[in-house]
Amino acid sequence: MIGKYPVITLCGSTRFKDQFLEAEKRLTLAGNIVISVGLFGHSGDDEVWTEGTKEMLDDMHKRKIDMADGIIRSLGSNSI
């Protein structure tokens, strides 16, 4: 497929790093441009918790949502 690709933003708890990565791979192979989180604070990326970083990442995530054609939420064990 060549053409316009939908932009999908993934949203959910960063505790589910493996689910984020699996969803990103599956959605990309299905022809979507996938925007995901950059750091997994609840899965070991401790840089998230430095002063000002969490707030910046939260704001950036809202901008990622603004850019998307669609959103997939809650990447826990029972979703997608």
Per-residue pLDDT reduced to its tens digit, 33-43: 999 988 888 88
In a domain, 1, yes or no: no
In a domain, 29, yes or no: yes
CA distances from 16 to 9, 11, 21, 67 (A): 15, 10, 9, 23
1-12 mean pLDDT: 89
What's residue 2's pLDDT? 76
Per-residue pLDDT reduced to its tens digit, 25-71: 999 999 999 999 888 888 888 888 989 998 999 999 999 999 999 99
In a domain, 67, yes or no: yes
In a domain, 77, yes or no: no
**Number of domains comprising the chain:** 1
DSSP letter (8 states) at residue 23: H
Report the candidate in 41, 75, 34 with the shortest Cα–Cα distance to residue 58. 41
Exposed, middle or buried: residue 72 (CB in 10 Å: 0-12, 13-18, 19+)?
Answer: buried
Report the candidate in 10, 1, 2, 3 with the shortest Cα–Cα distance to residue 67. 10
In a domain, 27, yes or no: yes
In a domain, 79, yes or no: no
pTM, two decimal places? 0.82
In a domain, 2, yes or no: no
The domain containing residue 47 runs over which residues? 7-72
